[in-house]
Structure 1
């Protein structure tokens, strides 16, 4: 069964989920259209298949392999894509296709946004993280030594195509990491997601165990994001709620040199901000504890190591939501009731950090 979720706004597009999604790529091909197929290593077969679909319609596809994960999101890799686009003579009527996980779709999207001030991009996400988060919404970017995603642009795709079968080849730890973004959507907007995850956490963490459950969780998470970005593409207000858990999560990623999986860091970040919200009197102990219960159930981390507060605090000060010296967090004031928490005290910040500390944090 194919599901189509429409993302509205000034530049509407569709997210198509289901078997045969790749065939829909043909609609973006035409004779002579140059297409740069940006793909992470390990996804060569799918990238070649995408190129074949495009070539069958007369397009001129060219493959562009990039490193896996966050190693792809550097200015050096981006510059390599610009060189390839230049050598091929790509114009504003040409196309970029992103094939891979969230880092690849972020990179491909930014290459499209920056080449000639913007060319079309179609995203083919192959990881859970990518399909429910990175590939949908038009946020593109790369990392720098100073922080994650600090350089980028808002550049919506013209379409997102995903066959859930592509996700079954992910290592389980990577799939579970992506589940953090699904759980996030449950806390900020759709509590049914939390109910489905808690009813069968083992199946929720393995798309092969219950494909129907996987499809339902993906569709619900994509719908949450679609609803938010349609109302606020450029993160001027509402869209910030999608960053639930990300302020502390991004700080972990930076401090750890991007060796932590994004979803793992966000999972700990959600527990941190729940601890912070509890101290501010916004949520009760039951909702705080539910964060740990849901995340623990699927095998996501809920703790971080001690002794890194100074580095984490510095990293959070560079977060995109920070205004001047004032830290701003997306928090909850109840289930599915997101709000902003501005300027928490340093005492509460350190207390919340200590609450998520363990001497030994298991790594998956």
Structure 2
């Protein structure tokens, strides 16, 4: 069975005001754990901005083990943050106005100089899912075939409705901010590992991205591990939704590789249409229509999600994940992703006049710590 692991970026916040705090370096320093040099997973690290940290899990084949890892990683970050008087929130953007502070590492400072406001305003938190593959050719075969379904993963994960203290109108405003990077977005069809590596070399030859780590494709071959890395999702408010997105990513990769081995070609969909589908997903999440990857016409979000589950049903059944994914999807469609809860908390309070954006953050801190 394919392994799956996740990386989650999390906000460091003030427990009273809800303001994002530039304390990531202190949080990481106070963690003090060594989970095995060079081994994948089990780390707590700084990120681009000092108001965020990143945690990751070990590669797992069992979803319950992955869930335990996600909950433990969040608790680990919260424990370290608590030692400096802060808390951890799984929010893809800060609901409150904040001024991001770049982590003073050479690479990040060079990014700040080269990319200006794109970097200095880039306080966003994503979810990255790593799915094991046996070779680069297998990985590129998966990239070619999962690309049409990645907008649906955005819709399932939207968790960034607020920006600088106001409602952005988007379920995932993070996706709007993220796509300001020149290398972000969907890949065209590639056909082979050689074509992928040529594309990487061509990108780097332009001297626009600093390095391969800045190739922010929606999904890519990991430069560190033998995995396909799916990068489109907002960090999920609830750990159980993180696990759900991870399970769907693994099933998408497995389904894609099976189709490749059976000689079924990928859908030859223009990248421009994928950008439209991603915008639609980030705008409304599961609340309205999505662009159906079968017809490229509007269709109810719940029906598109059902088509995704049906597309990967054999892979889910073979991994023993079908019932859990079906239950998780039904629950998510019923209550909505993180953006829905954030807006609900604020709007309910608006009726009584005693709830602010700080309360949205405090609620997110509680939801972040919930077990699966």
Question: What TM-score comes out, normalization by structure 1 length?
Answer: 0.30
Q: Which has the higher strand share?
A: 1
User: RCO higher in 1 or 2 (8 Å CA, sep ≥ 6)?
Assistant: 2
